[in-house]
Amino acid sequence: MEKKQGFFSTLKQELIRGLSPVRSRVGSNTPAALVGRSGSLTGEMLAPLYEGPEQDESGIGKSKRVGSGIGVWVKGQLSRAPSVGCKHRSDLRLLLGVMGAPLAPVHVSTVDPFPHLCIKDTPIETSSAQYILQQYTAASGGQKLQNSIKNAYAMGKLKMVASEFETASRVVKNKQAVGAADTGSFVLWQMNPDMWYVELAVGGSKVHAGCNGNLVWRHTPWLGAHTAKGPVRPLRRALQGLDPKTTASMFTDAKCVGEKRINGEDCFILKLTADPQTLKARSEGPAEIIRHVLFGYFSQKTGLIVHMEDSHLTRIQTTGNDAVYWETTINSSMGDYRSVEGVMIAHSGHSVVTLFRFGEMAMSHTKTRMEEAWTIEEVAFNVPGLSIDCFIPPADLKSASFTETSDFPEGERGKSALMVAGHRAKVAALG
């Protein structure tokens, strides 16, 4: 306990010095007291953690003492220079654009009361979903414990790789997928109500995104900082076994659509569909979000969520040109659940992303498959010293918003262009 209190005390001091999430947004409305001693860090490229030979693979899956690595992470970000030898491939931009910081389909607020189980005059699909969510909440630690959590912190490491690219005429597989994977780390901070900040460094590039409760923004090296279209939505990464309360709230309006065996476990399937108003609010210009559906697979044995699948379809129609469709599907499996201060947290997972482009001409159809594997190193709740100043948007936030089409090639947004074999689609799943 003394070690843990010492960690929290140290962390609070570091937060005050500017080593919290707000440190990367110097120049905004941040008080001078929160500006780090290393000066302006806006636009600084963070080096990935445990990158290359320094990474200890034997540590994967092993739990560490909470707080044992936060000092290393902070020190590393200040002392390491960006990886100048890293080649910035187009597929790395694609990986970060799609898998870096995608959002959930709909708005959800953890301050909204959790609905009571109601059977009378309620469709069986809805009442079954409510019962499954109650079992999930109980299995995750209970509603009372989750309501006592005011903020949270998580740190993990990950690997990303574009494993396959398919055109109408051929399939190109990345046979060295394991060796070619880009390694990196991420840090996630959350605070009630509805505030979050994530910083992800992979292969010498950094993506960070956040929400101050009123707007969602994202910053990438190639687009800068932009706000997101539509209502405020949670970070999908937090739903992957890290935030049981938000996950349960997300599926409040879901319906139970059946059962399926996933990775050896019998699961109930809950389905959530984004409403037309939300889809319209997320659409912009020639890009129209047609649908966004989320499926949650809850283990019948443990009650925990072990798999999640969401898919959204975007239609782009420019004047005088054929419509082009982009479908992004993300399948995520979560496991290695462990209790952290009484809350069940998934400490490892794997995602497979399929990006499919199609239109009127069959020869222009392409499909890209990407993968991400992650492990959680540290989790902590009710971190002292964390304040709303840590979630202030960047000062250079552009008024122009970004959508799911923010990373499309310029030709797809302004004029008709056929994708040639070997080219990667630049699509952001966040928006």
Can you give the residue ranges of every domain in the chain? 2-37+45-51+60-414
> Percent of the chain, pLDDT > 70?
67
CB atoms within 10 A of CB 19: 22
Lowest mean pLDDT segment, chosen from 82-96, 107-121, 236-250: 82-96
**The pLDDT of residue 203:** 85
Q: Give the mean model confidence (pLDDT) for residues 70-98.
A: 54
Q: Long-range contacts made by residues 242-245, C-beta under 8 angstroms, separation at least 24?
A: 242/152, 242/154, 242/188, 242/345, 242/346, 242/376, 242/379, 243/152, 243/190, 244/136, 244/137, 244/140, 244/141, 244/146, 244/343, 244/344, 245/110, 245/137, 245/146, 245/147, 245/149
Q: Give the mean model confidence (pLDDT) for residues 340-364.
A: 90
Phi, psi (rounded to 5 degrees) for 227 = -85, 160
Identify the residue with better confidence: 405 or 148.
148
Q: Are 310 and 255 in contact (CB under 8 A)?
A: no
Q: Does residue 410 carry a pLDDT above 80?
A: no
Q: Which of 64-73, 80-89, 201-210 shows the highest mean pLDDT?
A: 201-210
Measured CA to CA, the distance from residue 162 to residue 181 in angstroms comes to 8
**The pLDDT of residue 360:** 72
Q: Does residue 252 carry a pLDDT above 70?
A: yes
User: HSE (CB half, 13 Å, CA atoms) of 365?
Assistant: 11
> Percent of the chain, pLDDT > 90?
51
Closest by alpha carbon to 428, among 217, 155, 280, 195?
Answer: 217
Measured CA to CA, the distance from residue 282 to residue 290 in angstroms comes to 10
**The pLDDT of residue 399:** 56
Q: Give the mean model confidence (pLDDT) for residues 121-139.
A: 91
Give the pLDDT confidence of 179-231 residue by residue, as tens digits: 678 899 999 999 999 999 999 999 888 999 999 999 999 999 888 899 988 99
**The pLDDT of residue 22:** 53
Q: 365: which DSSP letter? A: -
Q: Give the mean model confidence (pLDDT) for residues 417-428.
A: 30
Q: Give the mean model confidence (pLDDT) for residues 257-279.
A: 96
Q: In whole numbers, what is the pLDDT of the chain averaged over residues?
A: 76
Identify the residue with better confidence: 111 or 419.
111
Give the pLDDT confidence of 10-68 residue by residue, as tens digits: 544 554 444 455 544 544 333 333 333 233 333 333 333 222 223 333 333 344 444 44
Measured CA to CA, the distance from residue 256 to residue 299 in angstroms comes to 13
Contacts of 223 by beta carbon, 8 Å cutoff, 6+ apart: 402, 406, 407
Residue whose tokens read 């201060």: 341
Q: Phi/psi class of residue 146: alpha, beta or left (left: φ > 0; alpha: ψ in -120 to 50)? A: alpha
**The pLDDT of residue 412:** 43
**The pLDDT of residue 79:** 40
Largest pairwise CA distance in the chain? 69
Q: Give the mean model confidence (pLDDT) for residues 105-120.
A: 76
Q: How confident is the model at residue 315 (pLDDT cuts 50, 70, 90)?
A: very high
- pTM here is 0.76
**The pLDDT of residue 104:** 95
